[in-house]
């Protein structure tokens, strides 16, 4: 399959680039890294693809030259310069983003004894789990080549199947599978995001896990409780309770039989919606239990397999009503506890981050992950609906709540 059209799920995710960012210590071999990326792109045809508009739809295709995307290499940087670069400065070097030219990019900032690697992919070809799988495969190839090993580099021209086709084949689910055309496709507003990161220390991360366990819930649900209550309080105390919603993207690949591997399809995520009433003085544990109970029930009943985020953020359905009107819902995606990355001797990954460039959802979106024992929350907001001052206020409240939780001894809460 050398070309096909995006289905509705993929179309909505188009033009939504994000980067997985690695900071490393040691020396990176330019020649070996270049060859490793070439082999990865040979194996995974979607990385070499482009997207073009036709009358019939948005076509994902392999161009005639069928080359791997270019690696952008910035060398000769001092370690001090690397430390001064903000994550936003680094990631914006991969812009502008144009899926007609490429759907993936690799950028390297190399210093004398440390550096940074950024792997950008468009969400139309890769959800979070696919992005992580591609990064790990890339590093495995690099490790093997660095050790003098042989790595298979056969060129594949098979593009991943549309998510709707895989869902229909595995579960008989009637997912949104129509092929949107440029003339009829809904319009989605995709803004450069306001973003912030909250990163806990290893001790705080452990304390948060202990607090969630003591409350009889998961870290994901506990964080939902923290965030929902903070947003409820931000709205004020005019109402004693407020109907709120926690959206939770759920990784479906291991939940079907046979398991769906990352190369098989591009986006395979169900969306769970948990409506809960939240009062300004409700206990976080109580909110968390409501969220987790609904999520567990949906997964057990396989309802989650029939819930997909499509047409939810159409521009004609989102009004600029002010930030407080978009605090009743939040999205919290959990990448989980990430194991270490493969590295040859003399090279070590010292940090990992996710960078989301654009956002569609009118409500606040959060992505959480734990690497090297430290939990990070990426906080993302639409700037046309949430001002910088409002975003700073949300972040301040969430940070203060997490600080209070992780400073207290578990038996005091």
Instruction: Give the pLDDT of residue 202.
Output: 96
Residue range of the domain that includes 167: 3-171
- The answer on 110 and 165 residing in a single domain is yes
Instruction: Give the three-class secondary structure for 11.
Output: helix
66 within domain boundaries: yes
126 within domain boundaries: yes
Q: Which residues contact 103 (CB under 8 A, 6 or more apart)?
A: 46, 47, 49, 50, 51, 121, 122, 124, 125
178 within domain boundaries: no
Pairing verdict, β 241-251 and 194-199: unpaired
Q: Which of 329, 316, 320 is nearest to 383 (CA)?
A: 320
- The answer on 107 and 156 residing in a single domain is yes
Residues forming a β-bridge with 281: none
- The answer on 7 and 135 residing in a single domain is yes
Residue with tokens 């899926």: 99
Cα 110 from Cα 112, distance rounded (Å): 7
Q: Calculate the average pLDDT of the chain.
A: 89
Instruction: Give the pLDDT of residue 306.
Output: 53
Cα 313 from Cα 332, distance rounded (Å): 17
SS (H, E, C) 121-168: EECCCCCHHHHHHHHHHHHHHHHHHHCCCCCCCCCCCCCCECHHHHHH
Q: Which of 77, 80, 265, 94 is nearest to 170 (CA)?
A: 265
Number of domains the chain is built from: 2
Instruction: Give the pLDDT of residue 48.
Output: 97
Instruction: Give the three-class secondary structure for 295.
Output: helix
| Domain finish residue from 116, 136, 171 | 171
Q: Which of 102, 7, 118, 1 is nearest to 352 (CA)?
A: 118
Looking up residue 374, the CATH number of its domain turns out to be 3.30.559.30
368 within domain boundaries: yes
| Domain finish residue from 125, 143, 171 | 171
Asked if 368 and 227 count as a contact pair (C-beta separation under 8 A), the reply is: no
Mean pLDDT confidence for 260-282: 92
Q: Which residues contact 57 (CB under 8 A, 6 or more apart)?
A: 5, 6, 179, 180, 181, 182
Cα 366 from Cα 159, distance rounded (Å): 30
- The answer on 224 and 131 residing in a single domain is no
Instruction: Give the pLDDT of residue 316.
Output: 45
- The answer on 153 and 226 residing in a single domain is no
354 within domain boundaries: no
- The answer on 152 and 202 residing in a single domain is no
- The answer on 250 and 143 residing in a single domain is no
- The answer on 112 and 68 residing in a single domain is yes
| Domain finish residue from 171, 199, 222 | 171
25 within domain boundaries: yes
Mean pLDDT confidence for 103-126: 96
Instruction: Give the pLDDT of residue 184.
Output: 85
pTM, full prediction:
0.92
141 within domain boundaries: yes
- The answer on 211 and 142 residing in a single domain is no
- The answer on 384 and 247 residing in a single domain is yes
Looking up residue 52, the CATH number of its domain turns out to be 3.30.559.10
- The answer on 386 and 311 residing in a single domain is yes
Instruction: Give the pLDDT of residue 256.
Output: 85
184 within domain boundaries: no
- The answer on 201 and 156 residing in a single domain is no
Q: Which residues contact 79 (CB under 8 A, 6 or more apart)?
A: 111, 112, 113, 114
What are 190-249's pLDDT values in tens digits? 889 999 999 999 999 999 999 999 999 999 999 999 999 999 999 887 666 788 999 988
> Residue 229 has which token pair?
């209550």
């Amino acid at each position: 399959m050398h070309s096909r059209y995006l289905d509705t799920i993929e179309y909505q995710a188009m033009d939504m680039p994000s980067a997985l960012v690695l900071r490393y210590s040691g020396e990176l071999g330019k020649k070996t890294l270049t060859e490793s990326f070439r082999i990865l792109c040979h194996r995974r045809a979607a990385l070499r693809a482009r997207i073009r508009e036709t009358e019939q739809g948005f076509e994902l295709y392999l161009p005639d030259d069928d080359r791997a995307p270019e690696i952008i290499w910035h060398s000769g940087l001092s370690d001090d310069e690397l430390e001064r670069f903000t994550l936003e400065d680094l990631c914006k070097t991969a812009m502008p983003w144009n899926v007609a030219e490429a759907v993936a990019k690799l950028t390297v900032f190399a210093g004398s004894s440390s550096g940074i690697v950024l792997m950008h992919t468009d969400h139309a070809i890769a959800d979070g789990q696919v992005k992580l799988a591609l990064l790990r495969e890339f590093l495995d190839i690099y490790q093997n080549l660095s050790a003098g090993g042989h790595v298979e580099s056969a060129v594949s021209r098979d593009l991943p199947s549309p998510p709707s086709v895989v869902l229909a084949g595995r579960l008989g689910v009637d997912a949104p599978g129509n092929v949107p055309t440029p003339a009829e496709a809904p319009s989605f507003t995709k803004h450069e995001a306001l973003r912030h990161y909250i990163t806990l220390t290893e001790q705080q991360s452990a304390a948060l896990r202990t607090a969630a366990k003591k409350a009889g819930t998961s870290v994901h649900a506990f964080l939902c409780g923290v965030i929902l209550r903070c947003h409820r309080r931000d709205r004020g105390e005019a109402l004693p309770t407020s109907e709120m919603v926690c959206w939770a993207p759920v990784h479906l690949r291991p939940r079907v039989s046979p398991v769906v591997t990352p190369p098989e399809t591009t986006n395979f995520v169900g969306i769970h919606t948990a409506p809960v009433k939240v009062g300004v003085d409700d206990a976080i544990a109580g909110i968390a239990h409501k969220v987790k109970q609904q999520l567990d029930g949906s997964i057990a009943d396989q309802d989650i397999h029939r819930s997909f985020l499509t047409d939810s953020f159409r521009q004609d359905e989102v009004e600029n009503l002010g930030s407080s009107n978009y605090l009743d819902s939040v999205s919290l995606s959990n990448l989980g506890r990430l194991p270490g990355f493969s590295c040859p001797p003399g090279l070590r990954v010292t940090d990992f981050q996710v960078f989301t460039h654009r956002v569609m959802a009118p409500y606040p979106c959060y992505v959480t992950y734990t690497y090297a024992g430290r939990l990070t929350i990426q906080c993302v907001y639409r700037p046309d609906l949430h001002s910088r001052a409002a975003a700073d206020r949300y972040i301040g409240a969430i940070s203060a709540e997490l600080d209070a939780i992780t400073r207290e001894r578990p038996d005091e809460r």
